Chain A
Amino acid sequence: MPRGKFLKILGALHEANVEFIVVGGVAAVLNGAPLAAYDLEVLHSRHPSNLARLLPVLERFGPLDLLGTIGRNLSYEDLLPHSVEMDIGEGIRIRVLDLETLIAVKEELGGEKDRAVLPTLRRTLEEKKKLR
């Protein structure tokens, strides 16, 4: 099976040692929420050395949904303790925003699209807790 586009981009970010956290819809999917995520949103460290590692990936794949902050001005450093490391195959390990924080961010944002997915995210969190 060919490597998917999201896997290719995440693999390139991982290989380039970019410090990033997957947020948004793909984070929801990776956390187990059965939603369709069309865009890959990535929160990155704004440290100059990280931006230098990020640039070649951008040149290779074109513009990505890169975010310096999310929610109420939360940065990579703020959210690092609220992320989990996940193995997404082919030796690629990435950091993903945890489901509790993803829900909190979407509750804060309160947009129509954010509110629409909240019931699925909340029920996914409940079901996930039952498995622990």
Chain B
Amino acid sequence: MTAARPIVIETRGLGKVFSVDRAPIVALEDISFAVREGSFVSLVGPSGCGKSTLLQMLAGLVPSTAGEVLVDGLVVRKPAPDKISVMFQDATLLPWKRVSENIEFPLEIRGVKAAERRERAAAMLSLVGLTEFAARYSHELSGGMRQRVSIARALAPDPRIMLMDEPFGALDEQTRIKMGHELLRIWSKTGKTIFFITHSLTEALFLSDVVLVMSHRPGHIVGVIDAQLPRPRTYDIIGSAEFGAARNRIWKLISQDDDEAGANGMASL
């Protein structure tokens, strides 16, 4: 169904080399994939495999050292806030602003008029179900509520693409599951393209149409799994046979790559 939709994000041979004290470290190598309009794509991989760096390159926040990122067929060199919003693991709410002012922040940067900003913030607050918390400050909210404000803020400028860097990584399990459901509800309501980073295979599979599997040293894509699970999804699906099979496929991709890397390491000794 989604296969017919146009490609919105594409990477071609994307790579990143960091120079630390003149010694080059290859963080990412030959990353090529495409994300279709309106789809939910997850990127899973072990900690430190370069997932965040990849996301920052997609967002135009960090320059690549090889290959290119294309959004709507145009090369990304700097942030494109009219198309892309970014969410981080930390909600990064500004502590001196009220919840509603935080949601207005991206609009304030764009020079949107105050009345229009307020209206938009109110709409986003109601979408994430936090209308009664509009006048609160971030330190008065729970971790899950802060991330919902962060979602509302990312949605405020009405981007077509949401890049999310482990947004629920710091939350407890129950909150995390609830936030996953919440995100799917918002996604189906708004039709955004979502690129979602996580290290949880279950979370990736539960949310996504497509799961990109990454491994480390250097960070590279080891496989692409088409989830092929029915929507709308409920928590029960996690216990189903298809879910388990898909989850095993992802795990095999990651562990095989680890074994090979280990074997190569031994051989070179």
The yes or no verdict on A and B being binding partners is no
